[in-house]
C-alpha cells in the first residue's frame, strides 16, 4: 500500500470558530532524542493515516490537506524557494474526508509546526485505539471533529466575496493579486484580526482549488 497523498495547504486555514492557544508550549516531541523536522513529523502523520485503512482495502481517508504557514512540497519537504524561518503562528489544520465525511483536526498548542503535526498524528493514534479495543468505531471516534461551522455561526461567505472578486469566473492571477492586496491589510501584524486572517486564508485555499 503506497503512502496516501497529503496536499500542502498554505497559508494556514484555521477552522472557523475553533479557539486559538494564547501561549503555545515549548516543543515536546522527539525522535532519537532530537527535535522533529517537517519530514519526520509528516512521516508520523502519514503512518497513522495509513493505519486507518486495512491492507488491501480501499482508502477510507481521502482529500487530505495539511494546512500550515510553511510552504512545503507534495513530497513533504520544505520549499527551498522561500524563507526557512519558522512562522510565528505554528498552528496546523489537517483537513480530510473519512468514509466520505469532511473532518478537521487542528492543533496550535505547541510552538513549532512540526510538533503540532506530530500531536495530530498522536491524536489519530489515540482515536484508532478506541476502535481497536471495541469501544467505538472510527466514525464514532472522529464524530467530534466533523468539519462543520459551529452552532449559531453565520453562514460562510463565498471565497470570491471574501477576496472582493465579482464571482467565481476569474483567473488565478486575479485571485493571487487580490489575496496579496488583502493579506497586506488583514494580517494580524498589519493591524488585522485573527478572524479576518483565518477567513482570508480559507477563502484563498478554496479559490485555488476551484480555479486550478
pLDDT tens for each residue of 161-179: 889 998 888 899 999 999 9
Confidence grade of residue 156 (pLDDT, cut at 50, 70, 90): low
Are 169 and 129 in a shared domain?
no
User: In this predicted structure, which of 2-6, 66-70, 107-111, 204-208 has the lowest mean pLDDT?
Assistant: 2-6
Placement of cell 480555479 in the chain: 211
Residue range(s) defining the domain that contains residue 170 = 159-210
Q: What is the pLDDT of residue 149?
A: 44
Are 177 and 124 in a shared domain?
no
What letter does residue 28 receive in the DSSP assignment? Answer: -
Looking at the domain assignment, is residue 151 inside a domain? no
Q: What is the pLDDT of residue 21?
A: 93
Domain stops at, among 122, 145, 168 = 145
CB 14 within 8 A of CB 106: yes
The percentage of the chain sitting over the pLDDT mark of 70, rounded to a whole number, equals: 82
Q: What is the pLDDT of residue 30?
A: 81
Helix/strand/coil for 12: coil
Burial class (CB in 10 A: 0-12, 13-18, 19+), 16: middle
* Residue of higher predicted confidence among 202 and 181: 181
* Residue of higher predicted confidence among 140 and 156: 140
pTM for the model stands at 0.66
d(C-alpha 98, C-alpha 114), whole Å: 23
- Closest to 116 in 3D by CA, of 139, 148, 90: 90
Are 131 and 171 in a shared domain?
no
Q: What is the pLDDT of residue 152?
A: 40
Number of domains within the chain:
2
Flag whether pLDDT at 150 surpasses 60.
no
Average pLDDT on 110-127 reads 93
How much is the mean pLDDT over the chain?
A: 81
Q: Torsions phi, psi of 173, nearest 5? A: -65, -40
pLDDT tens-digit readout, 43-86: 999 999 988 876 666 768 888 889 999 887 666 667 666 556 78
Q: Which residues contact 31 (CB under 8 A, 6 or more apart)?
A: 40
Question: CA of 177: how far to CAs of 32, 163, 195, in Å?
Answer: 44, 10, 21
Are 37 and 131 in a shared domain?
yes
Are 89 and 170 in a shared domain?
no
Average pLDDT on 203-209 reads 81
Looking at the domain assignment, is residue 68 inside a domain? yes
Confidence grade of residue 106 (pLDDT, cut at 50, 70, 90): very high
Confidence grade of residue 143 (pLDDT, cut at 50, 70, 90): low
Amino acid at each position: 500500500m503506497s503512502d496516501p497523498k497529503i496536499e500542502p495547504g498554505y497559508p494556514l486555514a484555521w477552522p472557523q470558530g475553533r479557539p486559538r492557544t494564547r501561549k503555545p508550549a515549548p516543543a515536546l516531541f522527539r525522535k532519537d532524542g532530537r527535535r522533529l523536522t517537517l519530514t519526520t513529523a509528516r512521516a508520523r502523520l502519514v503512518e497513522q493515516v495509513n493505519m486507518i485503512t486495512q491492507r488491501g482495502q480501499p482508502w477510507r481517508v481521502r482529500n487530505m490537506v495539511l494546512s500550515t504557514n510553511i510552504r512545503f512540497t507534495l513530497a513533504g519537504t520544505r520549499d527551498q524557494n522561500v524563507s526557512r524561518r519558522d512562522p510565528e503562528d505554528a498552528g496546523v489544520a489537517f483537513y480530510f474526508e473519512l468514509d466520505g465525511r469532511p473532518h478537521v483536526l487542528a492543533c496550535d498548542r505547541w510552538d513549532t509546526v512540526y510538533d503540532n503535526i506530530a500531536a495530530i498524528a498522536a491524536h489519530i493514534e489515540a482515536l484508532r485505539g478506541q476502535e481497536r479495543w471495541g469501544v467505538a468505531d472510527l466514525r464514532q471516534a472522529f464524530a467530534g471533529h466533523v468539519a462543520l461551522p459551529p452552532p449559531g455561526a453565520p453562514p460562510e461567505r463565498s471565497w470570491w466575496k471574501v477576496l472582493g472578486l465579482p464571482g467565481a469566473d476569474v483567473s488565478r492571477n486575479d485571485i493571487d493579486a487580490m489575496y496579496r492586496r488583502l493579506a497586506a491589510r488583514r494580517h494580524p501584524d498589519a493591524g488585522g484580526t485573527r478572524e479576518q486572517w483565518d477567513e482570508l486564508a480559507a477563502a484563498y485555499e478554496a479559490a485555488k482549488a476551484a480555479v486550478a
